[in-house]
Structure 1
Amino acid sequence: MIRRLRLITGLILFSYISLHLIPLILGNHSLAIMEFVRPSLHGFWESWPGLILLYGAMAIHMALGFYAIYTRHRWKGIGLGEIVQLASGIAVPALLCLHVVSTRIAAMQYGIQPSYPWIMAIYLKYDTMSGWRQAAALIVAWFHGCLGLYYWLRLKPFWPGIRFGLFGLAILWPALALTGFYKAGTEAAALTDNPAWVRVVLREVGSLSQSDQMVLYQIQDALLLALAGMLTVSLAARFVRRQVQKRAGFVILNYDDGRDHRFTQGLSILEASRDCSYPHASVCGGRGRCSTCRVRIRQGQDLLPPPSEEELKVLKRVRAGPDVRLACQAIPLSGEIHITPLLPHTATASHRYARSDMAQGKEITIAVMFCDLRGFTRVSEDRLPYDTVFLLNRYFDAMGKAIEESGGHLDKFIGDGIMALFGIETTPEDGCRQALIAAKRMSERLIVLNKSLEQDLDEPLRIGIGIHVGSVIVGEMGYGRATQLTAIGDAVNTASRLEALTKDYGAQLVASKTMLQTADISLGALPYEEHEAEIRGRVQPIRLIAIRDASLLAL
C-alpha cells in the first residue's frame, strides 16, 4: 500500500512538473506565448479540485519520504542513486517554499493574480537570487521525478525498448525549459524599463504592501522550520526505535558459504547483508519489487513473520517455493537463521520474471551432442591470428545455424568444439530425432563451407560428432555474466567420449544405439559399423553406431 501511494502521488507531482515546464519551453519563442498557454495548462491545477489533488499528493509524498527515513535501519550499503533521490526529495520542498508562498498563498490571502510577465520580471530583474533558486528547484524536482520513474520502469519488460528515448527526453525537456526561462526572463527584464508596461502588469496582478510581503516571508520561514522539524523528528524517532530494537535481542545470520553475521533485531535480511558487506542482489534497492534478493530459508523459518500480501504476489510471480522469501521484506526475530541467496549478486532486472523449472535446475532425459574439428591445429598453425578467427567464425556460424534450425540448444563453444542439447522443451524421442537431423545438416553445411574456402585451405575441414541420450541435470550454472543454461551428468560425459571415438573409427558420426532406438529411425541401406566400446566412467560397455558420412542420413 505504501509503495502504491508513493507511486501514485509521485506520478501526480511529476505530471504537474512536466506541464509546468511546457510554458517555459515556449518561452524560447516569446513571453507572450507563455502567458497565452498558461490558463489552459494551469487552469485545472488552479481550481479547487486541482489544488486539493496537488497539495494532497505533495503532503502524502513528503510524509512517505520522512517515513522512509524513519524506517531505514542502515545507511551502509545504500546506493548512490538512492542517496541522490532521498536528498533531492528533501531539497525540493525547501527550494519551492518561496515560490509557493509568493504565488499560491499570495493569491489566496491577498488576491494576487500571478502572470508570467510579472514572475519573469521579478526573477530576472528585481530578485535574481530567487530566480536562481527557482531554476534550481525545477532541475532538482525534475531529476527527483526522473529517478523515481527510472526505479519504477526499469523493472518493466518494455524498458529496454524505450530507455534511450526517455533518457534523451529527460535531458532535453529541462534544458529547453531553462533556456526558455532565461530568454523570457530577459525579455521581461527589458520591458520593465517602460513604466507604462510596469503599471499595466501591476494593475492586472495586484500589489502587496511592505507589511504583506513581511507576512509572506514569515510564512516561508515557518514552512522551512516545519520541514526541518519533520526531518529532525524522523531522525530522532529512528534513533529511539534502534535503541528499543537493541534491547529486543540479536539475530545470527548464517550464509551457505559458512559466513556468520550477528546484528540487532529489526534489520531485514537484505539490510543485514549490506551491513556485513555481503554481496547480495537487489535490483530495485530493497523495495520488494524485483525479487532478485530472494533467499531460501534453510533453517529458522519460524523466526520470520508471514509474508505480506505484496510479498506473496512477487513470490508467486517467480513461482517460488514455500521456503523462499524476499530478503528485503524478511525481518527475523532474535535467534539463528540460515539462508541461501538464490541469485548471484550480479543479477539483473530480467531475473524478476518467472523462470522455467529448467533454468532453476531439473533432471530430464535429453540428447547431447559434441562436435569437434579434426586436425584444426595443423590447419591454423601457419595462419595469421585474424585468418584463424575468421575461419573459426565461419565454421561456428554454419554449425550453429544447423543446430538451431534443427531445434537444438547451443550450449557452448569449447575451443573449436561445440556442445549442444536436444529435447529440452520437447520429448526424448523428438530430441534424438532433432540431434540426427542436426548432424545431417552440419555435414551438409560443412561441404558447402569447404567449397567456399577451397582456395584458402590446403585440405578440407573435417568434423567428428558424438551423440548420446540419457538423464541429465539441466539448469543455469556459472558465475556472473558467465552463467548459462547447461547440462551435467553421465550422458554428457558419454557423448563427449563418443565424439572422441570418431577418430578411432574413421567416422564423421558416432551415436549410441540407445539414441538411435529412442529416435525410432531406421538407417536403411546407409553403410555403418556397429561396435561395442568401453567408456571411461561407465561400468557397462556401450553399443554404438559409426557412420562415415552423416550427410547420407535419410531423414
Structure 2
Amino acid sequence: MIRRLRLLTGLTLFTYVATHAIALVAGNYSLAAMEGLRHSVSEAWETWLGLFLLYGAFLTHLSLGLYAIYRRRRWRGMARSEALQLITGLSVPVLLALHFVSTRMAEVLYDLEPTYPWIMAIYLKYDTVAGVRQAITLLTVWLHGCLGLYFWLRLKPFWPRWRFVLFAGALLWPTLSLTGFWKAGNEAVANAADPAWVRAVLADVGVLNNDAQSMLLTVENVVILILAGLLIATLIARSVRIQLEKRRGMVRLRYDDGREFTFNQGLSLLEASRDCNHPHAGVCGGRGRCSTCRVRVRKGAELLPPPSPAEVAVLERVRAGPDVRLACQSIPAAGSIEITPLLPHTATARHGHAAASRLAHGREATIAVMFCDLRGFTRVSEDRLPYDTVFLLNRYFDAMGRAIEESGGHLDKFIGDGVMALFGLEDGAEAGCRNALRAAKRMAERLAALNSGLRQDLDQPLRIGIGIHVGPTIVGEMGYGRATQITAIGDTVNTASRLESMTKEFSAQLVVSRAVLETAGQQDFMSEAITEHEAAIRGRQRPLRVLAVADAAALPV
C-alpha cells in the first residue's frame, strides 16, 4: 500500500508539473499565448477537487518520503541514481517554498492574482536571483519525477522498446519550457520599459505593500524551518530505531560458497550481503519489484516473517518455488540462516521480467536444435574491404534471423558466420520440429533471394549448410553479465552441430535426423533430391539415421 501510494501521489504531482509546463512551452510563441493558456491549464487544478488532489498528493508524498528515510537501515552502497533521487526529493519542497508563498499564499492572504506578465517581469527584471531559482526548481522537480518514473518503468517488459522515446520526451519537455520561460521573460522585460504596461499589469494583479511583503518572507522562512525540523526529527527517530534493533540479537548468514557473515538483527538479507561486500543482485533498490535479489533459503526459513502480498505477487510472476524469497524483503530474526542467490550479481532489470525468468533456473526439455553455417565465406570475403564484409554478413544474418523468428524459432546465438537456433521451447517437440523444417525451407528461399539481389557484388552465390536434430536438452539462462542468454546444452546440441558439418560430406544444403521427421509427422515424404543415410556421429555409440536434402526449399512443409 505504501509503494502504491508513493507511485500514485508521485504520478499526480508529475502530471501537475507536466501540464503546468504547457504554458511555459507556449512562451516560445509569445507572452500573450503563455498567459492565455494559464487559465486553461490551471482551471481543473483550481477546483476544490483539484486542490484536494494536488495538496493531498504533495503532503502524502512528502510524508512517505520521510518515512522511507526513517525505515532505511543503511546509506552505504546506495546507487548514484537512488542518491540523486533522494537529494532532489529533499530539495524540491525547499525550492518550492518561495514560489508557493509568492503565488498561492499571496492569493489567499492578500487577494493577489498572479499573472505571467507580472511573474516574468519579476523573474527576469526585478529579481533575477528568484528567476534563476525558479528555473533550478523546474529542473529539480522534473529530474526527481523522471527518476521516479525510470525506477518504476525500467522493470516493465516494454521498457527496452520505449526507453529512447521516453528519454527524448524527458529531455525535450523541460528544454522547451525553459526556452519559453526565457523568451517570454525577455518580452516582459521589454514591455516593462513602458510605464503604462506596468500600470495595466499591476491593475490586474494587485499591489503588495512593504508589510505584506515582509509577512510573506516570514511565512517562507517558517515553511523552510518546518521542513528542516521534519527532516531532523526523522533522522533522530531513525537513529533511535537502529539502536533499539541492535539489542534484539545477532543473525549468522551463510552463503552457498561457505562464506559467513554475522550482523545485528534488523537488516534485510540484501542489506546484509552488501554490508559484508558479498556480490548480490538488486536492481530496484530494495523496493521488492524486480525479483533479481531472490534467494533460495536452504536453512532457517522459520526465522523469516511470512512474505507480504506484494512479495508473493512478484515471486508468482517469476514462478519461484516455495523456498524462494526476495532478499530485500526478508528480515531474519536472531539465529542462523543459509541462502543461495539465484541470479548473478550482474543481473539487470530484464532478468526480473516474467518472460526472461521462465527458463532462468534451467529445466530439461525435448526441443529441436538447428545449426546453420555459411559455406566458403572466407574465400568470398578475403578480397573485400572490412566494411563490405560486415555489410554482407549483416544482410545474411538478417535474412536467416527473420526466417527463424517467423517460423517460431528462438535465435540462440551467432557464431562467426554461423547461427544456432532452438525450436519448441514453449510449444513442445512436435511443433518445434515442424517449425524447424519450415525455418530451413524459408532460409533456403531467403538465401536464393539474397543471392539474386547481390549477384552483381558476388563472384559466386552464397551457400549454407543446415543441421537439425531433436532430443532432450538442458535449457536455461547461462552466461555472465550482459552475455547471459537463454541457451541449450547436451548431446542433442552436439549432434545437430555434427549434422550441419555433414552437409559437406553429402553435398547437401540440409541434413536432418529421421527423429525430427517422425516427431513432426513428416516421415513419409521422399524425393530424388532427398537421400537417407546411416551416419556415425562422434560421441554416440549407435549410428543415426539422417536425411540429406539437396535443396531445403523443396521441403513439403
- Relative to structure 1, is the Cα distance of residues 382 and 304 closer, same or farther in structure 2, using a 3 angstrom cutoff? same
- Relative to structure 1, is the Cα distance of residues 406 and 185 closer, same or farther in structure 2, using a 3 angstrom cutoff? closer
- Which residues of 2 match residues 389-400 of structure 1 at below 5 A? none
**C-alpha distance after superposition, 1:88-147 (max 9, x if no partner):** 111111122222223322332333333334333433343332232223222222222222
Alignment partner, residue 302 of structure 1:
302
Q: What letter corresponds to residue 225 of structure 2 in structure 1?
A: L
Alignment partner, residue 133 of structure 1:
133
Q: Is the 8 A contact 1:23 1:38 kept in 2?
A: yes
1:66 correspondence with 2:66? yes
Alignment partner, residue 100 of structure 1:
100
Alignment partner, residue 470 of structure 1:
471
Kindly name which structure, 1 or 2, has the bigger radius of gyration based on alpha carbons. Answer: 1
Alignment partner, residue 266 of structure 1:
266
Q: Unpaired runs of 5+ in structure 2?
A: none
**C-alpha distance after superposition, 1:65-97 (max 9, x if no partner):** 111111111222222222222111111111222
**C-alpha distance after superposition, 1:430-457 (max 9, x if no partner):** 4445545555666677778788889988
1:522 correspondence with 2:524? yes
Alignment partner, residue 320 of structure 1:
320
Q: What letter corresponds to residue 83 of structure 1 in structure 2?
A: A
Residue 308 of structure 1: how far off its partner (Å):
1.1
Greater shift, 100-109 or 45-54, is seen at 45-54
Residue 230 of structure 1: how far off its partner (Å):
0.9
**C-alpha distance after superposition, 1:187-245 (max 9, x if no partner):** 44455555555555445444444333333222222211111111111111111122122
Greater shift, 350-359 or 283-292, is seen at 350-359
**C-alpha distance after superposition, 1:278-314 (max 9, x if no partner):** 4433333322223233232233222211111122222
Greater shift, 359-368 or 54-63, is seen at 359-368
Distance in 2 (CA, whole Å) between partners of 1:383 and 1:119 is: 65
1:365 correspondence with 2:366? yes
Q: Is the 8 A contact 1:297 1:337 kept in 2?
A: yes
Greater shift, 374-383 or 293-302, is seen at 374-383
- Relative to structure 1, is the Cα distance of residues 315 and 225 closer, same or farther in structure 2, using a 3 angstrom cutoff? same
TM-score in terms of structure 2 length? 0.84
Distance in 2 (CA, whole Å) between partners of 1:366 and 1:271 is: 41
**C-alpha distance after superposition, 1:472-492 (max 9, x if no partner):** 112222222222222222222
TM-score in terms of structure 1 length? 0.84
Greater shift, 516-525 or 121-130, is seen at 516-525
Residue 530 of structure 1: how far off its partner (Å):
4.2
Q: Unpaired runs of 5+ in structure 1?
A: none
Q: What letter corresponds to residue 478 of structure 1 in structure 2?
A: G
Distance in 2 (CA, whole Å) between partners of 1:437 and 1:43 is: 60
Alignment partner, residue 253 of structure 2:
253
Q: What letter corresponds to residue 93 of structure 1 in structure 2?
A: P
CA RMSD of aligned residues (A): 3.7
Greater shift, 489-498 or 392-401, is seen at 392-401
- Which residues of 2 match residues 131-280 of structure 1 at below 5 A? 131-193=131-193, 197-280=197-280
Q: Is the 8 A contact 1:505 1:546 kept in 2?
A: no
Distance in 2 (CA, whole Å) between partners of 1:98 and 1:444 is: 69
Alignment partner, residue 531 of structure 1:
534
Distance in 1 (CA, whole Å) between partners of 2:21 and 2:119 is: 14
- Relative to structure 1, is the Cα distance of residues 107 and 326 closer, same or farther in structure 2, using a 3 angstrom cutoff? same
Q: What letter corresponds to residue 495 of structure 1 in structure 2?
A: A
Q: Is the 8 A contact 2:318 2:358 kept in 1?
A: no
Greater shift, 143-152 or 270-279, is seen at 270-279
Alignment partner, residue 495 of structure 2:
494
SS in 2 for 1:248: coil
Alignment partner, residue 482 of structure 1:
483
Distance in 1 (CA, whole Å) between partners of 2:186 and 2:449 is: 72
Distance in 1 (CA, whole Å) between partners of 2:507 and 2:158 is: 52
Q: Is the 8 A contact 1:88 1:144 kept in 2?
A: yes
SS in 2 for 1:328: helix
Alignment partner, residue 119 of structure 1:
119
Residue 28 of structure 1: how far off its partner (Å):
4.0
Distance in 2 (CA, whole Å) between partners of 1:443 and 1:107 is: 75
Greater shift, 265-274 or 506-515, is seen at 506-515
Q: What letter corresponds to residue 480 of structure 1 in structure 2?
A: G
Q: What letter corresponds to residue 362 of structure 1 in structure 2?
A: R
Q: Is the 8 A contact 1:118 1:205 kept in 2?
A: yes
SS in 1 for 2:476: strand
Alignment partner, residue 20 of structure 2:
20
